[in-house]
Structure 1
């Protein structure tokens, strides 16, 4: 593999470029007109403009991206996360053109991207799933009948949803009736399908995911877990490993279940099995992300492995670099997603970054797509950086994070750093006794 096109932008594009440079692989970056001065454009071996700023005219232009890939004679495409990373049709188009898609097989992406189909597949494999419907609900009467059978509250979900989109909490039948039609319409608009289903809402839950990796030779391993329970509107804000909540026995059972789930779909490349865990440590399959996760640096910090390098090696047809008994974890790592965001109203805060000082030190990793003088535009996700901290103990990692956010300096835009300091000062968070409702109950109304 001599040349890879990166079908993404910002920090993940830079992250992929870094590994490609270390492996001696040339890179082709695509960029929108709004991103022409971004660091990832300068870092790539070559950069090609893909279109106007809106995503549907640039980073979602699959045909245009494939045209660029062919004209640049690339060997492979790395989709990063978001955009086209879980688009089975795009993956298949690339393969049809003789270009390697750095990710799982298109049929796996399609299967696991449909939440109803993935629930059904996991049930057949003996994987515990959240109580709910494993078929699409056709009428409001059917939805109400099902919800009454499993008991309120429930979550009404779009089968093709993701990233918190297409999920509605319904405390009672009145709420379900109110949101049913609008959720179906939203699902159709965002995901091209109006299929919806219902799951039992698990109160005081933890959201814990297991990183898995498979090759084309039947080998699948886990790379431990990440606790992603600090969320706002179903969007992850903080992720850490190991989870401060899980007992070792349940942790190991979760690893076994994640690998079993991956085998059930003959999984290859990087993927994540996501579980919802109740207060008694009963865990249930929630979904599978068939791509590299935003929070993959947490795993890289505790394992000292390069997951992007693993992705490329597997895509080349090679075996996994390590067997399960050769993979170990050390210390604690925690990641905070730093956004250009008003910390009070929680609205995007685009603008020019006039000052950017990270206060870099040992144990701190910053994956950022911006530099001083750069502009956060309103066209894309306003994440400025992922700030990851590692210590021998959880307490060390948290203290490192606290000093970092107190000392870092970003001017010209607002950020959600004040929220992080509030989280770090909270006793429940310090004790590791938090759930997915932590922000709602403590800091964000």
Structure 2
């Protein structure tokens, strides 16, 4: 994953796609909490990324950044926003350095000092030369992400490219691997690392002249942009949970007009931010399949159990580790609080009873199949030729209501009466939209 944060680019891309380019420069800058100058620098940076990743685009299709996004999205078998992860938000000197290291280790193994000498002799004059600490840091990073491998033996250790798997595969096995990774990356959660693996396999096949056909065997239409973007934070938070580390971040609620603010290092230009600075002991990450959203659940020292939409997290940093006993007790408390949550609701338990109707005689009941598949721990109490009754105890009705509503006229809420009345009012409102003028 990325070596540096790119919160600003993430929020920029989210707004760009969701608003379809409806904002002007000033509106974008205001929404992001940055200046016009910073906005223009971000646009320039993202254009460079697009040009480097999608060089195959026709020239007339790449004039405007927003147009490039829309054009490629329609004709691509992958989510366009993935290019941000490919860019890795590395500084130019880091990009040059890592490229030199990987190119050298592709042929044979090297020690850290040999790679230092190679970098110093090959780096462009305008870039600063690395020292031994920098090179060892780069090697540690590349080893952590699985790109290189430290060979066994005595010091000084030697490093080489770690591509043993693909080198041992035949042409047909490579094609099968590519197709498998393609399917899994487009259908499983999380998926960014799968896309990066798929691209790595494709590049290896291209370098070795393996023909995988002019037409991709699978084509996907991607819908949940935030899911891909929020995976930038996912592995940072999962690592913090494993290490029992508290995290600090600036949070922007989805209800706020501003979704980002720049870090002001000059005290003359300090300004109030609409974000909320938070410190949290992360306990669990939850994905909402219905809306394609990630949620962070954790313990707040002042407010207890708190929930955050991951799209609002920026400037995440790790703090001190929590005692194991405290972490386990708060984790048990959270599990008890969300034991009957349809998703993450921690409200009071309520019994929901719904009558679902079969589609008709001699027709397979797709309604029953869907309820059995998606109904979680709910149970079917009774069944007749016309309908069946489904019952479940959940923490509140807010999260389960969209699921029930999605069945339309194929279901009727029997209890609680409050939920039944809410749906009656909603369907009356929908009916009014279709009344004749």
Structure 1 or 2, whichever has the larger Rg, is 2
TM-score by length of 2: 0.28
Q: For CA contacts below 8 A with separation 6 or more, give which structure has more relative contact order.
A: 1
